[in-house]
Structure 1
């Protein structure tokens, strides 16, 4: 029953639906508001948007906004010597508080070497403390718009697919399972978009 769905908030419970939802993700061209992503629901209402380098002017930084344009999540790619020596790119997602990054809520590890690329993209929900060291993973191909986000028990959180073969690079859908945090999933999608040099990258 929908009423018994357990909500699993990461950004906020207000972004968790008790029923399955289909979100449409559309890439903004670089010459339209600096590029990025626009996310709509089944009624074509804008529920999220993502600003990237074209708007922020900084590489490796992303902002997820709600349907009203309020910044809710700041994401950045970690730099420095430790990062340079790692076989993973480290991304971190922070809640926004009065337009400033505040609490760290998740980290994403993206394999950057050919040897490590056989591994799935892994996501850790903060604070840490999990025995296995990760909470979610991305499997499949983002480039082909055929990937799935699963939790560490193998449960499907969200699935991405092409709207049609002609426009799959510009428009695709994300099927959200009940209870999971849609803002968090769009944050992960935004990172995948940036990793693959798409709408959020300059």
Structure 2
């Protein structure tokens, strides 16, 4: 009998590992590289890069690239009058096809930190179906680099943390790790982390 496939491709199946993966995030200084961060594996190979508005020149826009520099996700914050009237700002992540067309793959509601505190941030996988079985939420405090992404059953699919040796060091905000569970789309996880970095005044923000 064939084993059950537990992969959850959102951006691409090629970013779903059959085993747990621990990746390291290192922020890039604004003045040197224009902001953003780099994600490396245990062998120090670059797996993903995130460019923020310091590089792109546009506020509320982020790009997730693979280790070769190819675009994987274009992430934009919904703006205009709708945003001004809304309690929650919304971010949308799009995959980019070879012909330049965009396909919406996830939406994230940014909490209004002045009104609601400690409420989980919700992520919807697109296109929306009849069920919420593919939705996620974030619990914890990304600003402290201590939070988790949970699936609709409450299972942790990815966890952000700081290694003990840098916990009491100023570098802890510039260097942290992300544990991604087996079968989970790592590109999706770091697309979400890119948004969190921007929301909480990280290196992706101008």
- Look up the SS of the partner of 2:65 in the other structure: strand
In the TM superposition, residue 98 of structure 1 has moved relative to its aligned partner by: 3.4
- Counterpart in the other structure of 1:198: 202
Give the 3 Å change call, closer, same or farther, for CA 136–5 of structure 1 in structure 2. same
Partner of 2:34: 34
Secondary structure (helix, strand or coil) at the match of 1:32 reads: helix
Equivalent pair of 1:25/1:172 in contact (CA under 8 Å): yes
> Is the 1:71–1:99 contact (alpha carbons within 8 Å) kept by the matching residues of 2?
no
SS in 2 for 1:112: coil
Cα distance between partner residues in 1 of 2:154 and 2:70: 33
Query: Is it true that 1:168 corresponds to 2:185 in the alignment?
Result: no
Could you say if the C-alpha distance between residues 174 and 184 of structure 1 is closer, same or farther in structure 2, counting changes exceeding 3 Å? Answer: same
- Partners of 1:185 and 1:110 in 2: CA distance: 16
Q: Which moved more, 1:159-168 or 1:139-148?
A: 159-168
Judging changes above 3 Å, is the alpha-carbon distance between structure 1 residues 179 and 133 closer, same or farther for their aligned structure 2 residues?
closer
Unaligned runs of 5+ in 1: none
After superposition, the Cα gap between the structure-2 partners of 1:113 and 1:39, relative to the gap in structure 1 and judged at 3 Å, is closer
Structure 2's unaligned 5+ residue stretches are none
Aligned pair in 2 of structure 1 residues 28, 101: CA closer, same or farther (>3 Å)?
farther
SS of equivalent residue, structure 1 residue 201: coil
- 1:85-140 CA-partner distances (Å, limit 9, x unpaired): 11101000000123845100000011115333342110000011244497000000
2:184 pairs, out of 165, 180, 186, with: 180
**What aligned pairs does 1:128-143 form with structure 2 within 5 A after superposition?**
128-132=128-132, 135-143=135-143
Judging changes above 3 Å, is the alpha-carbon distance between structure 1 residues 113 and 171 closer, same or farther for their aligned structure 2 residues? Answer: closer
Distance 1:30 1:5 in 2: 41
Paired position in structure 1 for 2:57? 57
Q: How does 1:117-128 map to 2 (within 5 A)?
A: 117-128=117-128
RMSD: 1.7
More off after superposition, 4-13 vs 188-197: 4-13
**Aligned positions, number:** 200
Runs in 1 of length 4+ with deviation above 6 angstroms?
none
Partner of 1:93: 93
Normalised by the length of structure 1, the TM-score is 0.94
Contact 1:74–1:101 (8 Å) recurs in 2: no
**Aligned partners of 1:18 and 1:179 also within 8 Å:** yes
Query: What's the TM-score once normalised by structure 2's chain length?
Result: 0.92
